[in-house]
Amino acid sequence: MKRTLSHRIALAPCGLGPGLARARRVPRGLTMFGLLFWAIVVGFLGYLAVRTLPTLNEYLTIQRTVNKIAQSNPATVAEARQAFDKQKDIDYSITEISGKDLAITKENDRVVIGFAYNKEVPIAGPVFLLIKYEGRSQVAGRVTQ
């Protein structure tokens, strides 16, 4: 029986003809384990964002409140603390500090109000994320140092 070249190519394993060494293609794309790994990483980062964004919102609210009080240039330290506590009663997102936690000084005849606090964000069980926030009021359009 006489075999033709087309017959030999058809019988060759993996489509390799006689003497024709074709390189195997490297698989492209994402494997199931790769997809699972990236889904876990993205999911964890999303979880962290959901847990920490409210604390960032609270910090920005405190910063706006402190700037507003400092711009009104209160006459006494007690007046500045009372103004902060009054604003805290109005805005329920401020929970971490009160008027007694503010550091109030005068620089160049302007009131400068500073604050610092730590926020622990529970992640899972005994694991917490500690975020240290601190800020100062702005004087004449710039942040004092």
pLDDT digits (tens, 9 = 90+) for 98-112: 999 999 998 888 899
Q: What percent of the chain has pLDDT above 90?
A: 61
Q: Which residue has the higher pLDDT, 91 or 22?
A: 91
Q: What percent of the chain has pLDDT above 70?
A: 79
Measured CA to CA in angstroms, residue 103 lies from 30, 124, 128 at distances of 54, 34, 27
Report the alpha-carbon distance of residue 32 to residue 118 in Å, rounded. Answer: 40
- Note if the pTM is more than 0.85: no
Q: pLDDT digit string (tens) for 26-81? A: 777 888 999 999 999 999 999 999 999 999 999 999 999 999 999 998 988 999 99
> Which residue, 72, 89, 88, is CA-closest to 80?
72
Q: What is the pLDDT of residue 7?
A: 53
Non-local CB neighbours of 55 within 8 Å, separated by 6+ positions: 119, 121, 131, 133
Q: Could you tell me what percentage of the chain is helix, strand and coil, using 3-state DSSP and rounding each to the nearest 5?
A: 45, 25, 30
Q: Sorting pLDDT into bands at 50, 70 and 90, what band is 144?
A: very low
Reading the block at residue 87, the tokens are 């604003």
Q: Is the pLDDT of residue 119 over 70?
A: yes
Reading the block at residue 91, the tokens are 């805005």
Residues in the chain: 145
